[in-house]
Amino acid sequence: MGERPAGTEDGDDTALLERARGGDGEALAQLLERHQGQVYRFSMRMCRNPEDASDVLQETLLSAVRNLASFRGDAKLSTWLFSIARSFCIKQRLKTARARAAADDDALQTPVAGALPEDTVADRELLGALDSALHVLDADSRAVLLLRDVEGLSAKETAASLDMSVPQVKSRLHRARAQLREHIREPLSAVAPIDGACQPGCPDIVDMFSKYLEDEIGPAMCDQMQDHIETCGFCRSTCDSLKRTVAVCNAVPTPSVPREVQVRLRHEIRRHLEG
């Protein structure tokens, strides 16, 4: 039915963490710089506004500097950082909601650079549609989809970042994927057109495909679904469109972190170590 999204790896974070806890400022800077792009991308799409996202990134990294000693290493560092970022996103949204309520419908959307491997006009339009469609989702569903399908965290890591159970994450993820596909249906049809119509006996391919990605269907059911897809144009093309939706999520580019945030982070690291 397709490839499941791979999780991200934290590389040699462990070695850098040990050095950072020992007072090595350069190791601490490298550690945070390694993850700041992902945190900024997550914040950008959660907050909807570059200024808010920049504030969230800055506060997240500074919080990590000040509270590194409290990070026990039970989860990956990225999981911890996303958890901090989500909390700041919520606070930032509440802080600015009233001031920007009148202009919220016209809020600046982040330009999407880059595209899928084919780099076609249709692919670039699809990425742009994704960026807008994400904000139709409720905040929790958006966070689940961003962490799972954009950042590549596992369901368990996503649950830890969002203080949810794994079943809650998977339930929200299935709905979010289906909603997202509906909202990008028009540009999606340009690269993955649907063949025919649903026939009696066709399964809920959207739900089944999402469950397949989360290892919720066994080999026998998977083989049964594959046999059906090979003989049903509608389900096969629907499956292809779902693969494309997930591929678009995987292709969301990492934005450049504002220089002023990086400068302040370096300054805060020095101040923290000297204090």
Q: Which residues, including other chains, have CB under 8 Å from residue 210's CB and lie 6 or more apart?
A: 173, 174, 177, 178, 242
Burial of 275 (0-12, 13-18, 19+ CB in 10 A): exposed
Instruction: Return the closest-CA partner of residue 263 out of 67, 29, 17.
Output: 29
Measured CA distances, 172 to 6, 177, 181, 204, 208 (Å)? 19, 9, 14, 17, 14
Domains of the chain, CATH where assigned: 10-99+254-275 (1.10.1740.10), 114-252 (1.10.10.10)
Measured in degrees and rounded to the nearest 5, phi and psi for residue 129 equal: -65, -40
pLDDT the model gives residue 141: 94
Whole-angstrom Cα distance, residue 210 to residue 172? 11
Instruction: Please count the other Cβ atoms lying within 10 Å of the Cβ belonging to residue 226.
Output: 13
Whole-angstrom Cα distance, residue 141 to residue 177? 9
Whole-angstrom Cα distance, residue 159 to residue 139? 14
Burial of 145 (0-12, 13-18, 19+ CB in 10 A): buried
Instruction: Return the closest-CA partner of residue 141 out of 46, 75, 77.
Output: 46
Phi-psi region of 107 (alpha: psi -120 to 50; beta: other; left: phi over 0): beta
- For the chain, residues with pLDDT lower than 70 are 1-11, 96-123, 275
Q: Which of 66-100 are b and which e, b meaning 16 or more Cβ less than 10 Å from the residue's Cβ?
A: eebeebeeebbbbbbbbbbbbebbeebbeebeeee
- The position carrying tokens 């419908």 is 105
Instruction: Return the closest-CA partner of residue 246 out of 186, 174, 194, 197.
Output: 174
Whole-angstrom Cα distance, residue 270 to residue 275? 8
pLDDT the model gives residue 120: 58
Whole-angstrom Cα distance, residue 161 to residue 86? 8
Q: Which residues, including other chains, have CB under 8 Å from residue 19's CB and lie 6 or more apart?
A: 27, 28
Which 8-state DSSP code applies to residue 149?
A: I
pLDDT in tens, 1-15: 555 554 444 557 889
